[in-house]
Structure 1
Amino acid sequence: MYLRRYILGAAAAAPMLVAMAGAARADVVSPDVAKAFIAQSGKQLVTIVNGPGTEAQKGVALRQLVNQIVAVDKVGNYVLGRYINVATPDQQQQFQALFHQLLSYNITYQINAYQGVTFTVNGAAQQGNDMVVDTTITTPGKAPADVGWAVDEVGGQPKIIDVIVAGTSLRITTRNDYASVIADHGGQVSALLTAMKGQISKLSGQ
């Protein structure tokens, strides 16, 4: 039950790039820059997934791609939300390490499900502080999925900071899920860390 929405497959045909934003304010990029960035990112994703190589090799390539195009380092600050002020420095470090590890396992876990994926960029429009690029992602045997990619300028470069599927922000639902885990255990951040370790263990087949 816990961490159920964090599985990257939740975005239908776009599992590898589902990552949530950091809490820090980022600058809005132009529509053209955002569209070009997502088009290039999608092309790289499709090339890796549909290209040659073993599952392990593709997993490594996808993890490297995600680290390049997603604001992964800011993910923890956002999804941990107000509990970042409750967590000890050691717990914060553990959380970041577990979050990156969980992302990596999810990427590898989902590879086979997305063979034959195609990626089409439609348009871009500003929503709040983000520039959201609308795309259509198609996977054999599945209905086309409309997926929005929120792009901000982070560290001087465009980065993906959210994914919107069926009008739902995955960074917000993930933050809510994480907060529920902590709240259900008396506000103990350690409960979330334990749940994340359990999810990693499950995905790694241990």
Structure 2
Amino acid sequence: MYFRRFILGAVAAAPLLAAMAGAAQAQTVAPDAARAFIQQSGQQLVSIVNSSATQAQKADQLRDLVNRIVAVDQVGDYVLGRYLNALTPQQHQQFQTLFHQLLSYNITYQIKAYQGISFTVNGAAQQGNDMVVDTTITSPGKQPADVGWAVDEIDGSPKIVDVIVAGTSLRITTRNDYAGVITDHGGQVSALLDAMQGQITRIANAQ
């Protein structure tokens, strides 16, 4: 599960989308286009992780990359699920801000443990509304990890909308986790916001 934790940090902590609410329009990406997008994105990821830059520089570069290749805002709305409509506009803005912050912190933390990774793009096949690109990612001393990247075209550009590790969708896992927090607190969405803020505070204090 070591690579699942890395992916959670690198692309979305949480990573993501599909039948989301909002103005962005998602369309299926052609297989070749999806493979090319993931090939390019993977090369950029590997280049950053394996570079001689400082950890702080790598973290900044990865945050910028993630914001360009992942539908972060839409991912956030997806993982909220049915609770999205329970948020006030102010709470929604707060959630998205916290979601981005957690992603940034996770990236900074996770890249410390990875150097020398390689990235191989395999096939692509449509699964539901998404085009899923299969890849193999290796890291020295660790077993290769098979990772699927779900890609949609959103407002004319390909974006990553889910990451599938060991057959598990991270967007669904994250949505279930978030729903569990809310349910455990009597359906209060504010409890999730408090939990996310608490996690950010703990990470910041530990650095």
TM-score by length of 1: 0.92
Amino acid at match of 2:100: H
Maintained 8 Å contact 2:11/2:103:
no
Partner of 2:4: 11
1:202 and 1:109 map into 2 onto residues whose CA distance is 13
% identical equivalent positions:
69
**Aligned pairs (5 A) from 1:141-180:** 141-180=141-180
Unaligned runs of 5+ in 2: none
Deviation at 1:180, TM superposition (A): 0.5
1:126 aligns with 2:126: yes
Deviations 1:140-184 (A, max 9, x none): 111000000000001100000000011110000100100010010
Deviations 1:53-84 (A, max 9, x none): 11001100000000000001212211111111
Q: 15, 20, 27: which one pairs with 2:16?
A: 20
1:68 and 1:127 map into 2 onto residues whose CA distance is 23
1:58 and 1:142 map into 2 onto residues whose CA distance is 22
Deviations 1:81-100 (A, max 9, x none): 11111111111111010000
Partner of 2:34: 34
CA RMSD in angstroms comes to 1.6
1:133 and 1:197 map into 2 onto residues whose CA distance is 33
Amino acid at match of 1:63: R
Maintained 8 Å contact 1:12/1:145:
no
Maintained 8 Å contact 2:6/2:110:
no
Moved more, 23-32 or 115-124: 23-32
1:38 and 1:16 map into 2 onto residues whose CA distance is 14
Deviation at 1:200, TM superposition (A): 1.1
Shift in CA distance, 196/103, structure 1 to aligned 2, threshold 3 Å? same
Unaligned runs of 5+ in 1: none
* Secondary structure in structure 1 of the residue aligned to 2:109: helix
1:204 and 1:145 map into 2 onto residues whose CA distance is 30
Name segments (4+ residues, structure 1) moved above 4 Å.
none
Amino acid at match of 1:203: I
**Aligned pairs (5 A) from 1:1-206:** 11=4, 14=7, 15-18=9-12, 19-21=15-17, 23-24=20-21, 26-206=26-206
Amino acid at match of 2:17: A
Deviation at 1:198, TM superposition (A): 1.5
2:130 and 2:5 map into 1 onto residues whose CA distance is 22
Amino acid at match of 1:154: I
